[in-house]
Structure 1
Amino acid sequence: MKISCSVFGERRGRVYLTLALPLFGLSLVSCSVAADPPAPAGGLAPVTINFPQPGFKGTPKDIPTNSFTEPYPDKPPKPVMAPAGLKNIASGAKLSSSDKNATADTLAKIVDGDKDASEQSIIYLRKGPQWVQMDFGSVQEIYAAVIWHAHNAGKIYRAVAVQVADDPDFIENVRTIFNNDQNNVAGLGVGTDREYFETQYGKQIDCKGVKARYMRFYSKGSTESALNEYTEIEVYGRPTQLSSASGK
């Protein structure tokens, strides 16, 4: 018996076929096989992150086995899906910090594009809970943030949290985007996100289009140092329609 198969159409990501069975006369049977999934709806595209070279080789000697720590990453994270055409709005933000010893020139290194693991690429804030704040100048739609503390070793940073607000004092409309502070040392509440190993991939956070003008990044040292280290922070977003219309 000879079976012939021909493609006659494609619909909703599946290819439809017709089978002719000449031995038994004319008999048509429809079937389908899976095709490639359709492109993401709504004009979404992956937020492309340029990762630096690894700062160390191998894996850390002591890898926690508790469920509160993410597995050690061996590949880049899955990209955040967001509207196409977003920009790194962190590069134009006004920076401040809870560490008053951190000068404007020091903080500027966090958004200078240098993500290398070298000593000159890292800034150091004092011991204890500290934060870095960004003022974007107007309300932005924020879709993704990536934090590189210091990826010169596979350390774990403590009490990492990200918040946004409508005012510089973080009183009005404060929202928590990420919080793995399991001991509430920063006073933001006990976090439910997991701790993670610092690598060249940093920490990518899906901000889901939250609207805010101000953004804070918290931490409290790491498994290797009580100091708070930062190499680079990128924030991907765009002005809201209201901000664009008002020119702010």
Structure 2
Amino acid sequence: MKEHPLYVVAYTLLVCALSALLLTTAHVHWAGRIAANENFARIAAMVGAAGFLRDGMENDDVIAVFTRQVKAVEHGDMALFEARDGAGAVVAYMVDIEGKGRYGAIRGILAFAPDRQHIHGLRIYEQNETPGLGGRIGTMEWLSQFDQLPMVVDGQPGIRISSSERGPNVVDAITGASMTTFSLAQIINTMVHRFLSGGAAVQPLDLGVGADAVTRATPGYPKGFTPPPHLREEIRRADFMVPDGISNLALNCPVSSNLGDEEPLRGTVSQVTDGIKKSDEQDYVEMFPGEPQWVQVDLGASKEIFCICVWHYYKNPIVYRDVIVQIADNAEFSDNVRTVFNNDHDNSSGLGEGKDTAFFARWWGELVDTRSGEDKLDGTFARYVRVYTNGGEADEDTRFVEVAVYGR
């Protein structure tokens, strides 16, 4: 009978059913304890981030401190907790942080100092990163770098996690765990911006520069290159934080230029808003040499602009001269004209002396901040965007790849 096919099928089904029953029973039986353990890990992380956790504290003591000294408070749309010491003084504001690491969820507690200029502390209570590598984000040895770390430097909010940069708001990265620390930095910076903006929902802007969307060219300095005096040091750009609902308003919008009806040397001006950010032979518009050239995007109506991102041809190492970005309410640029970026340090283009720095064209684009308001939650209204460029430092022609205008 045991050799009968129906016996084998029935036996297999019975084993599977019993296994499922055992697993379900175990899950139901332990679900409460698992949830309690997870909740205690979060409570302990809050007590630790606030600076109240002491060696040898029993679980009941930790819960008692949390109950007595940590309270939920209102802060816009943000779930915020306030930690007070025994005398009733606020020592920290705390938020839950959660995001995706390389191998799973990262959960923790981020505490802000009462001065709103420093991180008070950081605790990670759940992560699935590689032990000895990304898993080090949960160790106090690494997390102690965040104690009283400045989160606002020169008026700009945000922290960095880097193995090459140095600065007051920079934390040493973990060698071999770049994906983990990059994700954690994004998680932290999102909450820093939300906290400082009154609890409003903000997130890093997606510029669409994934591996398949750009030409990952990172050339060095060309031979014989003399850098201009205002060339900036290249460091990783901080996340640009925006509210919900932001998109590229310029995609496939009409483009005009100083050439009028004349065609450029290469390409067509419509490529400037076609959404293609690559820097190959057919992906750029080459303008005529000898004077400042410009392209202009018509958004179709006045729109709220949060930033403008410009990609010049970047496959070769080129520093473009006199990059000037203006916005206006009419096509002739005579009504409500505003210059939002100008790195013409010597006024060689005749549009005014600029204070912005020169830069090597790179695949990540040059981002121009047009946010307004004290909390940077509003944009600037305009219909037209014009970008000037006066060739490259090595007598390169002006070459535009893409102009994106992010807003709503």
Instruction: Report the TM-score, using the length of structure 1 for normalisation.
Output: 0.79
- How does 1:1-248 map onto structure 2 within 5 Å? 3=57, 4-6=61-63, 7-8=66-67, 9-11=70-72, 13=80, 16=83, 35=94, 36=110, 38=191, 40=194, 41-51=199-209, 52-58=214-220, 62=225, 64=227, 66=229, 68-73=230-235, 75=236, 77-100=237-260, 101-102=262-263, 106-127=268-289, 128-208=291-371, 209-238=379-408
RCO (CA 8 Å, sep 6+): is it higher in 1 or 2?
1
Point out where structure 2 has 5 or more consecutive residues left out of the alignment.
1-54, 74-79, 95-109, 113-190, 372-378
Residues 71 and 187 of structure 1, relative CA distance in 2, 3 Å threshold: same
Question: Which amino acid in structure 2 is aligned with residue 109 of structure 1?
Answer: Q
Q: CA RMSD for the aligned pairs?
A: 2.7
> Displacement of 1:230 after TM fit?
0.6
CA contact (8 A) 2:305 2:405 kept: yes
User: Which of structures 1 and 2 has the bigger CA Rg?
Assistant: 2
Partner Cα separation in structure 2 for residue 57 and residue 180 of structure 1:
22
Question: Which amino acid in structure 1 is aligned with residue 202 of structure 2?
Answer: L
Partner Cα separation in structure 2 for residue 218 and residue 98 of structure 1:
10
> Displacement of 1:157 after TM fit?
0.7
> Displacement of 1:152 after TM fit?
0.6
> Displacement of 1:10 after TM fit?
4.2
Task: Classify the secondary structure of the residue corresponding to 1:90.
Answer: coil
Residues 106 and 16 of structure 1, relative CA distance in 2, 3 Å threshold: same
Relative to its length, the structure with more strand (as a share) is 1
What is the count of residue pairs matched by the alignment? 225
Partner Cα separation in structure 2 for residue 206 and residue 145 of structure 1:
7
Between the aligned residues of both structures, percent identity stands at: 29
Relative to its length, the structure with more helix (as a share) is 2
Residue in 2 aligned with 1:246? none
CA contact (8 A) 2:252 2:275 kept: no
